[in-house]
Amino acid sequence: MVSMPEMASEVDQTRPSIARVYDYLLGGKDNYAADRAVGDHFKVNLPGSVAIAHTNRAALTRAVRDIAAHTGIRQFLDMGSGLPTADNVHQVAQRHAPGSRVVYVDIDPIVLAHGRALLEENELTRVIQADVRDPEAIRHHPDTTALIDFDQPVAVILSAILHHVNDDEDPGAIVRYWRDQVPSGSHVFISHFRSGANAETAEAEAKLQETFGRGRWRTDDELRALFDGLELLEPGVVTCASWRPDPEDGMSRIGEEQREPGVWEQLIAAGLGRKP
């Protein structure tokens, strides 16, 4: 296995990475000065925007917990997984359903190196380097086929990744590919930047496009369209803060009085679909 120092020497540390900026915003330490400069723009010039990263991560944790605890699904494919943090998908899934198998996918070589080092003693987990826009390569990767049985239900995780796929790259086609690859009973979790048609949305989107050439806020109708052919489960596509919240989050369950999400919390939404 390539060590972290060796892998880091192969990375252009002057170019920010989406995964490493996200790591920085979540309080991680696997990032470089270029990543922190982008993260600091959000922290300083768009105060409160870090809530997007945190509320998204919390919704992902709840989704994996609910899938593992209540559906019988025991295999997870997490695309655009980013750098390891607390309560990663395999930790949450295996806590509620021991024996759950997880394949992480990310294009960043640092994610590959760090993930493999962290998971080298977990035989039920793999990390592969691949591009979410190349689903065939992910589907047929040896580590994917070693752990994921596509004849059995799969949880496909697309958390905070499709908003980095531009319109001409057809994010809907990525979801449809995986919908067609997995059997009935499989679940697809998507979280995505949600357009607020406000100054905050415009400025955040402009910064990501300037830095990475990608980063697209989409409307509620566009987000619901990503679940085409899937049964959209309760509570539908809603802000991450409102998606199946825990009482300790200060948000009540659907049908009860809810705290209104803050302006930044409203700019990321989530939904869970089930393949009929």
pLDDT of residue 18: 79
Break the chain down into helix, strand, coil percent, rounded to 5.
45, 15, 40
Confidence (pLDDT) at 254: 43
pLDDT of residue 249: 53
4-274 maps to CATH 1.10.3720.10: no
Q: What is the pLDDT of residue 251?
A: 47
The per-residue pLDDT for 215 is 81
> If you compute the radius of gyration of the chain from its CA atoms, what whole number of angstroms results?
18
Q: How far apart are CA 137 and CA 101, in angstroms?
A: 19
Which residues of the chain, if any, have pLDDT below 70?
Answer: 1-10, 84, 118, 248-260
Confirm whether pTM is higher than 0.75.
yes
Cα separation, 25 vs 43, whole angstroms: 8
Q: Structure tokens of 130? A: 């691949």
At residue 5, the pLDDT reads 44
CA distance 217 to 204: 9
Amino acid 256: pLDDT: 43
